[in-house]
A and B are shown apart, each in its own frame.
Chain A
Amino acid sequence: MKRILFVTLSLIVSYTAVFCQNKIPQPDKSPMDMSYYPDNFPLLKIQEKAKEPLIARVVYSRPQKNGRVIFGNLIEYGKLWRSGANEATEIEFFQPVKIKNYKIKKGRYTLYTIPDSSRWTIVLNKETDIWGSFKYDKQKDIMRIDVPVEKQTDAIESFSMFFEKSAIGFSLQITWDDVKVSLPISL
């Protein structure tokens, strides 16, 4: 009896110890995703179909609408937003690019946005690897430009960011709920 008691107790202790130490992260509610320009670059690369070198990549998290009104409600107008969820969105340029009058050097940046009803301000900031927009430092901004809001008829459930080829180079499309904005980028 004593032996059984001892074995069970030690089993419990080790079992709970395993559980308490195993701080293994659960999958995120707002999963992360990556988009590239050229679109689908990693697939094109292994198929040897990439016609252009890798120019840009965005790493962001994808919250869902879940029946909520997003802009002007969940995301307040005029307030800096991490452009996603969890860690602030990261954009990387693998060669220098131009966004309107700004010359952007090769490198990693945080992409913040300030949504409003008719236009969004897109902010590039040098502070990377940071959670949310709570520790935002305006001194580290390298670009701030306004882009118009396009309304869409079909609401988008998951927040999405992707690159599209354009006449001047390419653009970063940002869309969620009934809103879409486009950031023009040239080489």
Chain B
Amino acid sequence: MIFMYLQKKITRLFLLCCISIAFLFSCKYNIKQDNKAETLTKDSLPAKEKINPYITNDKSPLDISYYPQEYPVLRMNGTDSGKLVCRVIYSRPQKNGRIIFGNADKSLCIYGKEWRLGANEATEIEFFKQVNINGNNINKGRYVIYCIPYPDKWTIVINSNLYTWGLHMDPAKDIFKTDVPVTQQFPALEDFTMVFKPASYGADLLMAWDNVKTVLPISFSK
């Protein structure tokens, strides 16, 4: 009896230790990332909320992602091996404890309804060369990218109605649609994120928020 009790205790303690070690590892990793950012951006310091008489700071700040990843930094360092392929300019809303994807009235992005993939302006994607997405050629150029989320898939839409606020998508200007499966994102992401990752056929555009993640495969000649 006592032996079993002890064994249980030890197992629990061991589990706790393991989890703390895992957390330590992840923290160390995060700190590393911050340091890297710090050296890159000498004149960037923590954000402060203050009222600006000209333009207020966006609640969902704009961000830009490139493929090749961190292309401007590679250019600066003179270590870029390839040419610029694509970039995406999007805004990054935060979860803030809300239900993000769902069909309830309370969820922010409703299943079956267009979503601007971000906030504020419609998200802009630019291809600096011809690419191929799921068998369809997309010409070099600038487009709006939006999605229609469902529980198990997202319909990704490439559209030509540029420089618009993201609340009115014009389906008449849709150029291309494709479905991509939804996978679980763990742990849940606070900030909506779009980022390119290298893939054997070119690059993947990863789109993730809350506990949902989708990947749009983009093929191009290297």
Contact = CB atoms under 8 A, between A and B. Distances in A.
Interface string B17-30: 01101100110010
A16 B47 contact: no
Residue from A26, A57, A66 having most chain B Cβ neighbours under 10 A: A26
Contacts of B64: 32, 59, 87
A169 interface: no
Contacts of A28: 44, 61, 63
Contacts of A85: 41, 43-44
A24 B30 CA distance: 11
A16 B84 CA distance: 32
Q: Tell me whether chain A's interface is mostly helix, strand or loop, or mixed.
A: mixed
Interface in B104-150: 121-122
B173 interface: no
Contacts, number: 158
A129 interface: yes
Interface of B: 7, 11, 14-15, 18-19, 21-22, 25-26, 29, 33-34, 37, 40-41, 43-48, 50, 52-55, 57-58, 61-66, 71-73, 75-76, 78, 84, 87, 89, 92, 121-122, 163-165, 167-168, 186, 189, 191, 193, 195, 208
A64 B47 contact: yes
Residue from B21, B50, B84 having most chain A Cβ neighbours under 10 A: B50
Nearest to B70: A131
A132 B15 CA distance: 46
16 contacts: A1-B11, A12-B22, A16-B26, A24-B189, A28-B63, A30-B41, A31-B58, A33-B58, A33-B61, A34-B62, A42-B165, A46-B164, A46-B168, A59-B64, A130-B76, A157-B48
Contact of A64 (B45, B65, B84): B45
Interface of A: 1, 4-5, 8-9, 11-12, 15-16, 18-20, 23-36, 41-43, 45-46, 54, 57, 59, 61-64, 66, 68, 74-75, 85-88, 129-132, 134-135, 154, 156-158, 160, 162, 173, 175
A4 B13 CA distance: 12
A156 B54 contact: yes
A129 B52 contact: no
Nearest to A34: B62
Nearest to A175: B54
Contact of B165 (A20, A31, A45, A157): A45
A-B pairs with lowest CB-CB distance, top 5: A31-B61, A131-B72, A32-B62, A157-B50, A131-B76
